[in-house]
Structure 1
Amino acid sequence: MNAAIETLLAHRSIRQFESTPISDEQRCTIIDCARAASTSSFIQCTSIIRVVDKEKRRLLAEYAGNQAYVMEAAEFFVFCADYHRHLQIKPDAKVGFAEQMLIGAVDAALMAQNALVAAESMGLGGVYIGGLRNNPDKVSDLLKLPEQVVPLFGLCLGYPAQDPEVKPRLPVDLMVHEDKYQPMDKTRLAEYDDVVREYYSTRTGGNRTMSWSEQISATLDKESRPFMRDFLHSKGFAVK
């Protein structure tokens, strides 16, 4: 085991931050690590909006579902899929394809993961904010995102003011398949449900005892942001 692996395995989402700022050197290094991530066909179709303005932070926290840590974190980045830059280079570029949306989402996720791992290696912590997609139109207007730029998620970064446990992930044999997709082992799933139930019970002092299967059933029992397709189309994405 080395320091990089230890950092990856120790990941926790941090939602409470100290008031200590992140230095300019740290921030620049984090962004450089994000920029070093793999990019499909060297298209580099991602932009990062660093949000410093306090009022914009307050509004973004509200748009994301009143997540206060968007305001409290030392840094807040918004990761966007961006083909607007490419249109400025080639105005008649063939854009709007669903595959390009996938490339933008994958590239942004790779960049953001690099950024978070780099931050965690410095003793910082963070949490991703998918809640920005609750109000993508308002986020887009606030950040003045042009056509062919879509806000995908945010990232809070700062010095942790909490020390949560590592959340238990699915067992390897339920997630990794060999040669072909394998049927799910219901016994292993039940064992994992017990682990997650105990995790939540410990974390909440017994106020929550939900299993992973119960959580997933509740999450997938309703529509999830059904307005996203129309929003993507309005920004010129996935129309072909």
Structure 2
Amino acid sequence: MNSTIEAILQHRSIRHFTEQKIEDEKLELILRCANAASSSSFMQCCSIIRVSLPDVRAKLAELAGGQTYVESASEFLVFCADFNRHQQIHPDAQLGFTEQTLIGAIDTGIMGQNALLAAESLGLGGVYIGGIRNNPQQVTELLGLPKHVLPLFGMCLGYSAKLPEVKPRLPLSIVVHQERYQNLDKQELEQYDQHIKMYYASRSRNNRQTSWSEQITATLNKESRPFMQGYIEGQGFSLK
């Protein structure tokens, strides 16, 4: 096992950071690694907004649901799907297709993962902030995002003050399918649910008494940002 694989398998979300700032050279390396990510048809349809101003950070933390680590992290980056740049190059560009929305989301996700893996390899930690989609229009106005730009997620980066346990993932026997899609093995799921319960019970902080299946049931029994469709269309995405 090499250091890259070790870093991937030891991933955990970091939400508590020290006051130590990320060195400029490390931040540049992280951003270069993000920018080196795979790009569909070499469209390079992603942008990163680096947010440093304390008042803007505080507002973003509020808009993301009161996630204070948006303020306390050394760096906060907002990853966006961006076709505005392409329209500036080609004003008659045919935009608004759902396929472009998918390309933008996929490429931006890959870019974010490159950034986080690079940060972790440099001894840093971080966490994705999907909460910026709680109030997408306000985030758009706050960051001055033009049409054809979608803020997909934020990312806190910094030096970890607390190192939580690695959260167990679904077993490969559930995730990986051979040749064709296979129905869920309920026995495997039950074993995983018990594993998750044991993990939460033994965790050093924020103990829970729920299984993964119970978490998923609770999450999918409520609406999930129903305003997103209208917002996405307003930004010029998924119109056709």
Normalising by structure 1, we get a TM-score of 0.98
- CA distance in 1 between counterparts of 2:96 and 2:63 reads 26
Count of residue pairs brought into register by the alignment: 240
Identity %: 59
Q: What's 1:203 paired with?
A: 203
The residue correspondences of 1:11-50 to structure 2 (distance < 5 A) are 11-50=11-50
Q: Displacement, 1:205?
A: 5.8
- CA distance in 2 between counterparts of 1:203 and 1:232 reads 38
- Secondary structure in structure 2 of the residue aligned to 1:38: coil
- CA distance in 2 between counterparts of 1:36 and 1:56 reads 28
Instruction: Classify 1:28/1:214 alpha carbon distance in 2 versus 1 (closer, same or farther; 3 Å).
Output: same
- CA distance in 1 between counterparts of 2:34 and 2:205 reads 37
Measured against aligned partners, the alpha-carbon deviations of 1:110-154 in whole angstroms (never above 9, x if no partner) come to 000000000000110000000000000000000000000010000
The residue correspondences of 1:68-87 to structure 2 (distance < 5 A) are 68-87=68-87
- CA distance in 1 between counterparts of 2:44 and 2:163 reads 35
Q: Does 1:191 align with 2:191?
A: yes
Measured against aligned partners, the alpha-carbon deviations of 1:95-121 in whole angstroms (never above 9, x if no partner) come to 000110110000000000000000000
Q: What's 1:133 paired with?
A: 133
Q: What's 2:57 paired with?
A: 57
Q: Displacement, 1:26?
A: 0.4
Q: Displacement, 1:223?
A: 1.0
- Secondary structure in structure 1 of the residue aligned to 2:78: strand
Measured against aligned partners, the alpha-carbon deviations of 1:185-239 in whole angstroms (never above 9, x if no partner) come to 1111000000111111222668411000000000000110000000001111101
Please, what is the CA RMSD of the aligned residues? 0.9
Q: What's 1:116 paired with?
A: 116
- CA distance in 1 between counterparts of 2:190 and 2:200 reads 15
- Secondary structure in structure 1 of the residue aligned to 2:41: helix
Q: What's 2:236 paired with?
A: 236
Normalising by structure 2, we get a TM-score of 0.98
Q: Which residues of structure 1 form unaligned runs of 5+?
A: none
- Secondary structure in structure 2 of the residue aligned to 1:146: coil
- CA distance in 1 between counterparts of 2:44 and 2:153 reads 17
- Secondary structure in structure 1 of the residue aligned to 2:203: helix
Q: Which residues of structure 2 form unaligned runs of 5+?
A: none
- CA distance in 2 between counterparts of 1:200 and 1:94 reads 49
The residue correspondences of 1:94-113 to structure 2 (distance < 5 A) are 94-113=94-113
- Secondary structure in structure 1 of the residue aligned to 2:112: helix
